[in-house]
Amino acid sequence: MKRRERTRHLIELGGLVIKARLVDLADDDRATLYGAFLSIADRLQGEERDIALALWKRRGKRAFEAETEGSILVDTERQS
């Protein structure tokens, strides 16, 4: 990946972190965010990988669609 492409990719990923409100919800604490990302990585290495990916992909698609339509997204699939 070329430098410019990599920079754009990293900016887009950072935008997703902000869009998901993780920065605000974690009080902009990088250790907290990193720990959360490590938890996600652990889950993706486990037996429930396919289930987690399907759930997250579905929720992400719905959020993008809601944003595109300008509607308000209501989180009805909270995990415990």
- Domain assignment present for residue 40? The answer is yes
Percent share of the chain, pLDDT over 90: 81
3-class DSSP assignment, residue 20 = coil
C-beta atoms surrounding 52 within 10 Å: 15
- Domain assignment present for residue 79? The answer is no
- Flag whether pLDDT at 23 surpasses 50: yes
Amino acid symbol at 9: H
- Domain assignment present for residue 78? The answer is no
- Domain assignment present for residue 74? The answer is no
Give me the residue label for tokens 């037996």.
47
- Domain assignment present for residue 61? The answer is yes
- Domain assignment present for residue 77? The answer is no
- Domain assignment present for residue 80? The answer is no
Report the C-alpha gap between 76 and 12 in whole angstroms.
26
Average pLDDT estimate for 35-57: 97
- Domain assignment present for residue 54? The answer is yes
Total domains, the chain:
1
Which residue range forms the structural domain that includes residue 14?
3-69
Report the C-alpha gap between 17 and 2 in whole angstroms.
23
Average pLDDT estimate for 61-66: 94
Torsion of CA 26, 27, 31, 32, to 10 degrees: -20
pLDDT tier, 24 (very low <50, low <70, confident <90, very high otherwise): very high
Percent share of the chain, pLDDT over 70: 88
End-to-end CA distance of the chain: 38
